[in-house]
Structure 1
Amino acid sequence: MKAVILAAGYGTRLQRDVAADRSGRFAHLVGVAKPLLPVGNLALLSHWIGALAASNAVDGIYVVERLGAMACLQLTVKHFQIQDHVIVIGGDTLFKEDFSLTEIQSRFSELQAECEDNSLLLSYQCRDDETHKYGIVEIDSECRAVCMKEKPLPSETTSRRACPCFYMLSKKSLPLLDTFLQEKKDAPMHEKDAPGNFVSWLIPRKPVYVYEISGRFDVGNLQSYVDCDQYFKEKLYDIHTYMV
């Protein structure tokens, strides 16, 4: 299995907040890409690389940027001729301490034993007033995704399962990247760039299952970054086993 970390985020909201701050406390964040933000004693990206290495979940890690999420993923698969399962990870995302790469990979292996087409995504419960911020997945009684709605109003779905950018994609689904991007070649950027749009498109075509976690750190603006950084400095139980 390979890991592709999408590091193309510009952090527009965060940088706007940093520029507006007059305290000087955050001057060191000016121009810093979100995956390189210092979180605790490490860059955000380094938490992922450390956990992936410690868990032995993958035998290759690729960090890509600037082309847009799905174009980045397609470029990586083609350039490195990847013919293996792929973990797609948002470079601006960190999870709560119940998240375990080892346990999630074990669940993915179970699904693969049932059918090689199976992929796996994560979800956590969000509030009613947060559905418009996220991709929201609806599932059946077997935790298989039925559909995913991008930033719906609360009235548009009964589900409150928000999906962060962490997908274990079967190698059987990777060739469909070309099909997706070809179909979307004339679409607005937001329709083909966000990784959730590919997953939404994939769900009716290949089986995708859902693994529930408790939540994530959403580093979107300056306050959410401060909260995340403070947690890692003061409350993280064990940095050596985090996400492993």
Structure 2
Amino acid sequence: MKAVILAAGYGTRLHRDVAADSSGRFAHLAGCAKPLLPVGPCALISHWVQALTASRSVDRIYVVTNALYFAAFQDWASHFTNVQILSDQTRSNDGRLGAVACLQLAVKHFKIEDHVVVIGGDTLFKEDFSLGKVKERFSDLQAKCEDNCLVLSYQCKEEETQKYGILEVDGNLRVLCMKEKPLPSETQSRRACPCFYMFSKKSLPLLDAFMEEKKETPIDEKDAPGNFVSWLIPRKPVYVHQISGRFDVGNLPSYIECDRYFREKLRDVESYMV
């Protein structure tokens, strides 16, 4: 299995917050890509590389970034032997390709013909998350059908459904549909879906079909990787694995909360997410 970490965003909300902060406490974060933000003892993305490596979940890790942050990611990756960096060649948020296009770019550039775990570069999970358990679940699904894919879900609050993609599932935990930011009255489900997907190698050719279908649509329809998941659900079997929650670093308050957890509450750094 290969890992693709999506890290081509520009962090506009976070950097706007850092620039507006008058305390000066976070001035060192200015111009830093979100996945490279210090979270506890290391960069946010380093937590993923350490866990993916320790759990032996994948044999290669590919990180897709943009031209603006490419050199910084290259410098960071020099400390690892199993990480390769790819630039999407964009230099501004307005010119971004979108997450699905970045995933397609990685699959083509690195000639991936294996199962792929796709991870949002600004996301981390709570301490009970285990890559080993998720991979075991995916392997069980693959043994039943090679088309099967796997996503995660966690219970969000009723008032939070309008912030996330919400999964509706059947009794076998197969996903029936994903509703994008629905009102609480529009779905009985509270299953939020974070950016962590295990796509079977048989599903990867559908990236081309999705991008061809969406080529004339606005960037918003092909930016969030969940848009591809939603499109995939009626075409391939997609199942869920339940987790307790996540950290999604989108702005300065969410970064502060995440960093504090890793500095003060994380009990075992060595086994985190393994």
Residue identity opposite 2:24 in structure 1: G
CA distance in 1, matches of 2:109, 2:61: 14
2:185 is the alignment partner of 1:126? no
Offset, 1:68: 2.0
Which stretch of structure 1 is more off in the superposition, 9-18 or 83-92?
A: 9-18
Residue identity opposite 1:237 in structure 2: R
Report the TM-score when normalising by structure 2.
0.88
CA distance in 2, matches of 1:215, 1:68: 25
Contact kept? 1:9, 1:92, Cα under 8 Å: no
CA distance in 1, matches of 2:20, 2:103: 34
Give the match for residue 90 of structure 2. Answer: none
Structure 1 portions without partners, runs of 5+: none
1:90 to 109, 114, 120: 120
CA distance in 2, matches of 1:180, 1:223: 35
Contact kept? 1:123, 1:213, Cα under 8 Å: yes
Contact kept? 1:136, 1:163, Cα under 8 Å: yes
Q: Secondary structure, in 3 states, of the residue corresponding to 1:87?
A: strand
Give the match for residue 14 of structure 1. Answer: 14
Contact kept? 1:87, 1:167, Cα under 8 Å: yes
1:166 to 196, 201, 211: 196
Q: Secondary structure, in 3 states, of the residue corresponding to 2:31?
A: coil
Offset, 1:65: 2.0
2:265 is the alignment partner of 1:235? yes
Give the match for residue 26 of structure 1. Answer: 26
2:47 is the alignment partner of 1:47? yes
Offset, 1:19: 0.8
Q: Secondary structure, in 3 states, of the residue corresponding to 1:103?
A: helix
Report the TM-score when normalising by structure 1.
0.99
2:144 to 84, 107, 114: 114
Q: How many residues align?
A: 244
CA distance in 1, matches of 2:210, 2:246: 28
CA distance in 2, matches of 1:65, 1:147: 30
Q: Secondary structure, in 3 states, of the residue corresponding to 1:220?
A: coil
- The CA deviation string for residues 164-190 of structure 1, in whole angstroms up to 9 with x for no partner, is 000000000000000000000011101
Moved over 4 A (4+): none
CA distance in 1, matches of 2:62, 2:249: 22
Give the match for residue 193 of structure 1. Answer: 223
Residue identity opposite 1:204 in structure 2: P
Contact kept? 1:132, 1:154, Cα under 8 Å: yes
- The CA deviation string for residues 48-75 of structure 1, in whole angstroms up to 9 with x for no partner, is 0000000000011000023321111111
2:235 is the alignment partner of 1:205? yes
Residue identity opposite 1:157 in structure 2: T
Q: Secondary structure, in 3 states, of the residue corresponding to 2:153?
A: strand
Offset, 1:243: 0.4
CA distance in 2, matches of 1:58, 1:11: 27
Residue identity opposite 2:31 in structure 1: G
Structure 2 portions without partners, runs of 5+: 67-96
Give the match for residue 104 of structure 2. Answer: 74
Question: Identity of aligned pairs, percent?
Answer: 75
Alignment of 1:210-229 (within 5 A): 210-229=240-259
CA distance in 1, matches of 2:202, 2:248: 30
2:65 is the alignment partner of 1:65? yes
Contact kept? 1:5, 1:91, Cα under 8 Å: yes
